[in-house]
Structure 1
Amino acid sequence: MNYRHAFHAGNHADVLKHVALLALCEALTVKSSPCFALDTHAGRGLYALDGNSAQRTSEARDGIGRLLAEAPKHPVIARYLAAIKACRAAHGAATYPGSPWLLAHALRPEDRIAACELQPEEAAALKTNFARDARIAVHQRDGYAALKALLPPKLGTTKFGRGLVLIDPPYEAQLDEFDTALTALREGLSRWPEAMYALWYPIKLRRVLHSFYREATKLPAKSTLVAELLVRPDDSPLRMNGSGLLILNAPWQFDGTLAPALAMLRDAMGEAGASSRVEWLRAPA
């Protein structure tokens, strides 16, 4: 696997993913009991947007760069932009936080996080970046296998009744990755059915995802929600026009929370013909 997220850090897909991730964390921390988060494809956790990799693609310029310039007024977006500000205050003005950093920022001292990364160089950087945070266990291992190994979560005699699993694969295998991810979600749900699950996926042509949507509705979750942001018209097979999140067991009324925020992201980062979508594939009973 040759994927390096440093080339894509801070792009429109990261913005969608991380805005939603922090909103899910907000829902998790409403209750006082501790929670657990598993990040299956964690990367290194922190990225330098002024580094060679990010500068080579300049994807952040049209992602977080545009959003910072526009700063739409919505609580969900404001929470994300505040996290970016906090990260840069701690690590430098050109830093972009990956999902492990955002989880650590949003969750509490009593909560626990497991971050998995298979690539040795990225895993080593991840361990270095979080060496001082006792809440975070870093695993150099396959993220899909981690669902079987680490779920249901427990710490000593403590079992976690609530939590979040983020699955953010590179999709180097293209359509095969969707099948692998759906199998992993089914495994996770069988082991920890009460958790929320968020699977990120790229969108080139949305119509090719119909079989994915159909199979997703068969998963044994209480609810199935899709949240999608396309920054370009849905008509080019050569580019990633947008991306989405498949969210299982989403919080109550999460669609109403997320939909207006995604519309603002669309307006801030999108070209002509951009769109956003928040829709239940299976509504909560």
Structure 2
Amino acid sequence: MLAYRHAFHAGNHADVLKHLVLVQVLRHFNLKEKGWRLVDTHAGAGGYSLEGGPAHKRDEFVQGIGRLWGRDDLPPAVADYVGLVRAFNADGRLAQYPGSPAFAHMLKRPQDELKLFELHPTDHKILASYLGGEPGVQVRMVDGFTALKGQLPPPTRRGLVLIDPPYEIKTDYARVLAAVREALERFADGTVIVWLPQLQLLEAAQLPQRLKSAASPAKKGWMHARLTVGAPDAKGFGMFGSSVFVINPPHTLTSALPDTLAWLAPALGTGPNARPLVEIGH
């Protein structure tokens, strides 16, 4: 598990979807003055260089944020997300990509809290150096799944849990499901975002359906938003899309995301298989 480094995948199509949704949820939270708490179970390093090192070895960002960087026809939600990536790059070049903690920190107000958990020692060290000293931010090198129970419910009763493990080991799928159930048991009206890879793997195919059942205690239902960008390789391997499962989604997200994903699918897709899927349930 500790071999995974998100730096190899920073800014790819999956990050675009995950971070676009995260930004829109936090924008909604910021419509009210009352503070919120974000619990990020797999926070990563917080930011990633795209000009050298791991990200440059695969250049996955070229088919993700790179496809959006120079366009002037972005839908509002996409323009908002890209604008924050631009704010993270002071000189106007796409040289750095912000991780989830960076997006949250850019949208955080003095009354808000970030609880960031990362087990990888190198990524934790980078994240702690970047945000560990910021007011209202806590960075800990512990298992985010285990730490979750101590963070809910937040004192303000306004909060978001972001769960996006690497899924490199199959037990992650079961732990995600258990974490969602525990989060809703402690905080039934809290918002939970689960990121899921789209793979030709039984556990990956089953998880959305299992999350729908686990979301039954949620007071505002759920939304499953998938962005398919291609197809698996000839042997059936490879991630050919991803999705986010949002429990208690804000109404601003459910109303805007279908049209946004309909635009994103051809923008980030690599062939005829590119397509969006949005399901909403209660």
Shorter chain as denominator, the TM-score bin is over 0.9
Q: Which residue number in structure 2 is paired with residue 241 of structure 1?
A: 240
Structure 1 portions without partners, runs of 5+: 154-158
* Contact 1:216/1:224 (8 A) holds in 2: no
TM-score (norm 1): 0.91
C-alpha distance in 1, partners of 2:253/2:50? Answer: 31
Shift of 1:131: 3.5
The amino acid of 1:276's aligned partner reads P
1:98 equivalent in alignment to 2:99: yes
Partner of 2:228: 230
1:233/1:275 contact within 8 Å kept: no
Instruction: Write the mapping of 1:1-285 to structure 2, written as runs, cut at 5 A.
Output: 1=1, 2-89=3-90, 93-153=94-154, 159-174=155-170, 176-205=171-200, 209-219=204-214, 220-222=217-219, 223-233=221-231, 237-273=236-272, 274-280=274-280, 282-283=281-282
The CA distance in 2 between the partners of 1:64 and 1:27, in whole Å, is 23
RMSD: 1.9
* CA drift at 1:260: 1.2
- What is the count of residue pairs matched by the alignment? 276
User: Taking every aligned residue pair, what percent have the same amino acid on both sides?
Assistant: 37
Partner Cα distance (1:169, 1:210) in 2 = 16
SS at match of 1:34: coil
What's the TM-score once normalised by structure 2's chain length?
0.92
Pick closer, same or farther for the CA change 1:138–1:208 going to 2, 3 Å. Answer: closer
Structure 2: distance between partners of 1:207 and 1:253: 32
* Aligned mates of 1:90, 1:68 — CA distance in 2: 14
Runs of 4+ in structure 1 displaced over 4 angstroms? Answer: 90-93, 206-210
C-alpha displacement of 1:93: 4.5
Question: Shift of the alpha carbon at 1:91?
Answer: 10
Q: CA–CA distance in 2 between the matches of 1:98 and 1:32?
A: 25
Q: Deviations over 1:24-64 (max 9, x none)?
A: 10111111111111111000101000122111111011111
8 Å CA contact 1:9–1:47 kept in 2: the answer is: yes
Following superposition, the deviation at residue 230 of structure 1 comes to 0.9
- 1:200-243 CA-to-partner distances (Å, cap 9, x unmatched) read 01002388645323321222223121011111047862110000
Q: Distance in 2 between matches of 1:75 and 1:206?
A: 34
